[in-house]
Structure formats: structure tokens, C-alpha cells
Amino acid sequence: MAVSFRCVRNDKVNNYPLAVSQTIAVGDPVILDANGQVTVAATTSAALLGVAASACTVSASGDTIIVHDDPAAEFEGPCDTANQNVQAEVGDTCDIAGSTGAFSLNLDAASYNVVQVLKIGSYINALLDGTFTTFDPGTLMRFKITAHALEN
């Protein structure tokens, strides 16, 4: 199974209690529920805790999960939208898309703005690089969490 997102900078991790009946893959974005337990994020999540560093299948009471939860962490993951212009995306905020084991950045959605694109492929500042190319779905993007559960 492919990993949705992976931590590439500030990879601090912490152990958290899991909500019951969760199936979470390594690399899935996760949230804290009202009881302070981890659940897999949804496309409508308003704040993310981080990205799962361990996996679980149908969690039971008392189970825990390891999470990359540093608000300064940077992650890498695929985008889900075709023919986006590089210079139009670097620095923009967007939503997440997908489900367990298959999350991506939803560049066309900005309802929740939970992540910010930092880099696309090798382009950090496309305007300065003079790059005006487009990229395909699945292109790896570096991003950070902008709506972080530990900062709200």
C-alpha cells in the first residue's frame, strides 16, 4: 500500500490514545475528537493533529497510535488535480481529499484550508524560478499543516 503523506522535516512524534474502531494507515492525516482521541481525518476536517507514523486496524479501547504532531513539521504527498499551474499553487492553502491509505491534497478546494503548499517538485518559488509549467495528478508536493489541533 502506498503511503499518503510522509514527514520530511521536524519529524517529532508522540503517542496518542485511539478512538475505538479506527483503521488508519501510516501517512494518513489524523485529528483529535472531542474526547482527545485520534481518528482518521475527513475531507471536512477543520484542524489536523498531524500524520500517522504507525498504523492500526479496527482499534480497540486502550489502543494507541504514534503521530507526527509537530506544528512546524513539513510533509510530502500527492496532489489530486490535473493541469494546475505551478506558480498559482505554491503558498496557497487547500483541503485534503481521499480516505485511509489514499489521501492527497485537493488543490481546487479551499473550504477548510488545513494545509499550505510549500513546494511542488523542485519548485519552491515558481515566480522567481521563472517556471510556468503545469503538473499532473500525483505530483509530490511539500506542505505544512496550517490549521493545527495543537495551535488552535
10 Å CB burial of residue 71 (0-12, 13-18, 19+) is middle
Written as tens digits, the pLDDT of the chain (152 aa) is 567 999 999 989 999 999 999 999 999 999 999 999 999 999 999 999 999 999 999 999 999 999 999 999 999 999 886 556 666 677 889 999 999 999 999 888 889 999 999 887 665 555 555 555 666 777 888 999 999 999 86
For residue 60, the enclosing domain spans 6-68
Is 151 contained in some domain? no
* Dihedral sign for Cα atoms in the order 6, 9, 11, 17: negative
pLDDT given at position 37 = 97
DSSP letter at 19 equals P
- Do 34 and 88 lie in one domain? The reply is no
- Do 46 and 99 lie in one domain? The reply is no
- Do 78 and 140 lie in one domain? The reply is yes
As a 3-state breakdown, the chain gives helix, strand, coil percent values, each rounded to 5, of 5, 40, 55
Q: How remote is the C-alpha of 31 from its chain's centroid?
A: 11
Q: Model pTM?
A: 0.89
